[in-house]
Every structure is written in structure tokens, then in C-alpha cells.
Amino acid sequence: MKKRWFHLIKVTFLSIFSLMMIYPLYWLITSSFKSNEEFFAEPYAFPTSISWGNFTRAWEVADLGTAMINSVIVTVSATALTVFLGALTAYVLSRFTFRLKAFLMVFFLLGMLIPIHSTLVPLFTMMNQVGLLDTYWALILPYTAFELPIAIFLTVAYMSSIPKDLEEAAVIDGTGYWGIFFRIMLPLSVPALSTVAILSFLRYWNEFVFALVFINDNSLKTLPLSLSIFSDGFSTDYALTMAAMTIAVIPTIIMYLLFQEQIMKGMVAGSVKG
Amino acid sequence: MQANLKLKGLLVITLLPALLLYSFFVIIPIFWSSYYGFFEWSGLGEATYIGFQNYMEVIQSSVFWRSFKNNMIIVAASVFGQVPIALALALMLRKRNWFQKVVRSAVFLPMVISTVVVGLIWGYIYDPELGVINAVLRAVGLESWTKSWLSDPSVNMYAVAVPIIWNYIGPYLIIFIAAIQNIPSEMEEAAMIDGASGWKKLIYIILPNMWTTIKVAVVLCISGSLKAFDQVFVMTGGGPAESTEILATYMYNNTFLVYRYGYGSAVSTMIIILSLILIGISQLLMRRKNG
């Protein structure tokens, strides 16, 4: 009897806590379907009717379409670059022995200790001098550079667990190192590489500070940057702001629903290594 | 011999791209900023060498140290907020049924949300007129408790810390659940036979076995909280009157709003030094207790 009560209290508590965790998002998404009048009158009620007006308005007025395209270009290119460079570096670090190997591992590990925002000023001035500011590269390159340590460590750990028999057979067949990398290691490492890809995608899609400092040109702004500016300009137009935020959040929620276990494990592994 | 040369060439070609990219964007900036910290520079035109003046100014700036104190509030809020909450939840979430999975997913969900969106939504939640917090307080008759949470200097730093706690509980929960599942089942069975159940089992079996994991979580919490920027920047920008300034917003405001790149570089260098000291201290403390 006592046990059943305990169980009931536990379930109730967990339910309430989960609702509290989700509430801000629930509120965001429901509010984005309301008109401003309805939002001010009943800010917490469920919308009386579903209208897509805010979304089309956000898309047009705030030029979210451009921001969405920029975010896709930057995120996809940086993710591809991260996966490729991460895999290549991990292949060498996990399969060859050479003098600087241990040093390189530590060198890449160091990057996880550096607070990203402390590199803002130097990166801004450095990229200013070589004319990289206000280009897609101003985001793609630093994003990749900062994600490389995690990408390399997740992939090295995975590749080290792949038995060497296949490669040895391939070497006997006369396959070169590149052949082994592209035809054996890359396909076999797909589980690790897909985790790297998902984590990079989420990180780049949501990234804010670099975009804030390195991008000034309106036509190059990514979604988080547009949202932050947008919220100042239209701060009283709640319905519009909420709809714009919902548009930005939906892709990441879909990713989360599809790859939950991988995201959880990957993020935990990435943070523990750092 | 030829094969050896070929291998060396391969190593150089394969490692170089990642190494160059990483060095240029992650490592060199640290040295670059400590160097530019010695100059007075508006970003345009000539930089003038001024010795240690910028560094002295940072050390003597009361706002810089207040920002550091505010950063410590976030660190403390994370250590005493995220870790106990995640631990309590993990103890309740040891089964793998659908209900517990849903709870886990809900707790982890904020991790994938853009930090800008997190800052903006919580800005609305704290809104004195429309915000849900004041609405709830008014509804339960605690009208006198309502506040403008983000502008009242007596509470706003704590208000700013709450969304950061909310944002990052997920990974700690997952780490703790894994640690609990790793406790050998023989140990729990032995405890059951000895008649230890409930609280006794928790105190004598579960917590001691998780101690190492809890320490790792605390270290992660400290280094993670030092990276805070986005949510604070979006919610308050460090204001009003620098009351919610943290190191990163202080650096941003002093560089990109007033064009003092030399001073901003000196602040960046100080941030790296302080972070490394804190991470070092926390690692050291943890190691000593281990021994």
C-alpha cells in the first residue's frame, strides 16, 4: 500500500516536471498560431483557430526565407567538411603509428578547453585582414575548426574498434591507403560519422555568437542572427516573433524526434571528453 | 624506403588540412589576442603599443570583476541546480518503460533548441505584464511578489541563471542514469538480502557508487557555465546598468560596441586565463578527494 502511494507521487511529480520542461516550447508553438489581439487577451489559452498568417507574414516581412537559405548553406557545407576532415584525421590517428601522434591527440584535445567567445576578437581582426568577414566562409571555417576535436575523438574511438583483418586483406589485394579509407573505413564508420553529422548539424544550425560578430551583411544572416535582430525591431509584434522562432526551431525538433538516442549519446560523449 | 616516403607523404597530406584549419581558428587566436592586448587599437588604422595598460585596466575595472562574480553565480546555480535536479530525476528514472522514456526526452529537449530562441522565450516568460511567472503569482494572490525579473538588480542575475539551468539538465540526467545502471546488480541484491531498502540503499549503495560520476558532472558544469553567453546576451545584453554583465558580454560590449579591439583582446586573454585556472582548480579538488 505504501509502495503504491510512493509510486503515484513519483509519477505525478515526473509528469509535472516534464510539463514544466516542455511548457516554454509548447507556449511558443501555440502562440505562433494566434493573432496579436488574441495573444494579448488570452496569452496562455490554446488558440481558438489555427491560422498560418503569422508564418507567411514572418517569411515575407522578416525575410526569413533568405535567412533559412543561408542557414542551410552554412550548416550543410560545414557539416560535410567536418565529417570529411574528422574522418580523414581519425583514420590516420587510429591506423598509423608515427612520432607526433600522441602530441597531436593532446593538441586537438586542448581545443575543447578554450571558451569559444574568447576567440571572437582575435578571429574578427584576423578574418578582417584576410577579407573573410561577411562571407559564408567566415562561418563555415571556424564552425568546422571548433567541432573538429569532438568529431575526431568520437571517430577515433569508433575506428579503433574496427578489426584490422579487412584492411590487411585489402592491402594484399593491392588497395592503396586512399582506397582503404574510401572503400573500407568510411563505410564501416557510418554509425560514428552519422552521430558527428547530427551533432554538427544541430550546433551549426543554432550557432549565434560567430554569426553575430562575423556577419554584417543582411543578405548573409543566418536564422538565429535574424531572430535576435528581429526581436528588437518587431518586439511588440509577438505573434510574428513567435512564428519566426517556431520556423527556426522546427528543423531541430524533427532531428531530435528522429535521432533522439544518437543525439543524447553523442552530446554526452562530446561533453565528457571535453 | 620508397613505401616509407609514400607513407610520410600520405600522413602530411591527410593531416594538414585539419591541422591548419584547427590551428588557425582555435589555437592562434589565443596568442593573437594576448599580443593585441598590448595595443590601443580602434580596429581601423594604426595600433599603438601601450605596454601593460590594457591588462592593468582590466584588472582594476570594477565592472570586469562584477562580471566575473556574475559568472560565478551562473556556475553556482548550475552546480547546485543542474546536478541535484538531474540526480534526483535519474534516481526516479531507472526503468525503461515508455513513461520514463518520455520524461527523459522532455528533459533533454531544450538541448536541441537554439539558444537565441531560449533567450527570447524566457524573456517573454519574465515579461512583467505578459509573462507567465507574474501571471501565476497574480492568480494565486501573491501580487506583491511580482517583479520585473530581468531589470530588478536584486533578482535579475538569478533570473538569468534559471533558463541556463533549464537548458542543460539533459546531459547530466543521461550521465547519471548510465552511472546507476552500471552499479553491479549483485551489490543491490546483497543489500536487499541484508534488509537495506529505500533510503538506506540510496545512501549506502547507490550514492557511493556514483560519487566519481557526480564529480565529473560538477567539473563539466563549471567549464560549461563559463561558456555562457547567448542566453544572457539575448535576454538582457548585460544590462540594465551592467547588472547582469558576465565576462563574455563584457568582452563583447567593450570591443564591438565601442571599438576598443586592444582592450577587448586583453579581456579575452583574461577570460582564457581565468577559465583555465578555474578548470584546473576544480580538477585538482576532485583528484584530491579521489585519493
Q: Does B122 touch chain A if contact means CB atoms closer than 8 Å?
A: yes
Question: So where are chain A's domains?
Answer: 62-273
Amino acid B288: pLDDT: 63
Contact between A214 and A133 under an 8 Å Cβ cutoff? The reply is yes
pLDDT exceeds 60 at position B142:
yes
The stretches in chain A having pLDDT less than 50 are 274
Residue type, A129: Q
Quote the CA–CA distance of A78 and A137 in Å, as a whole number: 9
Cite the DSSP H helix spans in A43-100.
Answer: 53-61, 64-95
Average pLDDT estimate for B192-210: 78
Amino acid B3: pLDDT: 66
- Give the class (CATH, top level) of B61-290: mainly alpha
Question: So where are chain B's domains?
Answer: 61-290
pLDDT exceeds 80 at position B196:
no
Grid cell listed for A134: 561577411
Collect all residues with Cβ–Cβ distance below 8 Å to B12 and sequence separation of at least 6. Answer: none
CB contact under 8 A, B114 and A120: no
Span B240-253, pLDDT tens digits:
888 999 999 999 99
Select the residue of A104, A249, A256 nearest B117 (Cβ to Cβ): A249
Quote the CA–CA distance of B104 and B82 in Å, as a whole number: 14
Amino acid B289: pLDDT: 57
Residue A165 C-beta-side C-alpha neighbours within 13 Å: 1
Average pLDDT, chain B: 88
Residues in A touching B111 (Cβ below 8 Å): 263, 267
3-state secondary structure of A42: coil
Span B22-47, pLDDT tens digits:
999 999 999 999 999 999 888 777 88
CB contact under 8 A, B251 and A202: no
- Grid cell 491560422 is found at A51
Select the residue of A15, A144, A271 nearest B171 (Cβ to Cβ): A271
Select the residue of B107, B115, B171 nearest A206 (Cβ to Cβ): B115
Span B157-184, pLDDT tens digits:
999 999 999 999 999 999 999 888 888 8
Amino acid B253: pLDDT: 92
pLDDT exceeds 90 at position B131:
no
Select the residue of A98, A111, A248 nearest B26 (Cβ to Cβ): A111
Q: What are phi and psi of B40, to 5 degrees?
A: -95, 120
Q: What are phi and psi of B198, to 5 degrees?
A: 55, -125
Average pLDDT estimate for B60-89: 94
- Four-way CATH pick for A62-273: 1.20.58.1880, 3.40.50.11900, 1.10.10.10, 1.10.3720.10: 1.10.3720.10
Quote the CA–CA distance of B291 and B280 in Å, as a whole number: 17
Q: Give me the sign of the Cα torsion angle B196, B199, B204, B210.
A: positive
Q: Does A224 touch chain B if contact means CB atoms closer than 8 Å?
A: yes
Substitution target in B26, B85, B201 with the highest count of A β-carbons within 10 Å is B26
Of B235, B37, B206, B283, nearest in space to B126 by CA: B235
Q: Does A41 touch chain B if contact means CB atoms closer than 8 Å?
A: no
Substitution target in B22, B46, B220 with the highest count of A β-carbons within 10 Å is B22
Amino acid B43: pLDDT: 73
Amino acid A171: pLDDT: 84
Count of CB pairs separated by less than 8 Å, A with B: 246
Q: Does B274 touch chain A if contact means CB atoms closer than 8 Å?
A: no
Contact between A247 and A55 under an 8 Å Cβ cutoff? The reply is yes
Q: Does A255 touch chain B if contact means CB atoms closer than 8 Å?
A: yes
Amino acid B143: pLDDT: 84
In this prediction the ipTM stands at 0.89
Q: What are phi and psi of B276, to 5 degrees?
A: -65, -40
Residues in B touching A268 (Cβ below 8 Å): 171, 174-175, 178
pLDDT exceeds 70 at position B2:
no
CA angle, residues B88, B93, A200, in degrees to nearest 5:
95
Q: What is the dihedral of CA B193, B194, B199, B204, to 10 degrees?
A: -110
CB contact under 8 A, A268 and B11: no
Average pLDDT estimate for B54-75: 93
Q: Does A187 touch chain B if contact means CB atoms closer than 8 Å?
A: no
Amino acid A274: pLDDT: 43
CA angle, residues B79, B83, B89, in degrees to nearest 5:
160
Min CA distance, B248 vs chain A (Å)? 6
Span A118-131, pLDDT tens digits:
899 999 989 988 99
pLDDT exceeds 50 at position B204:
yes
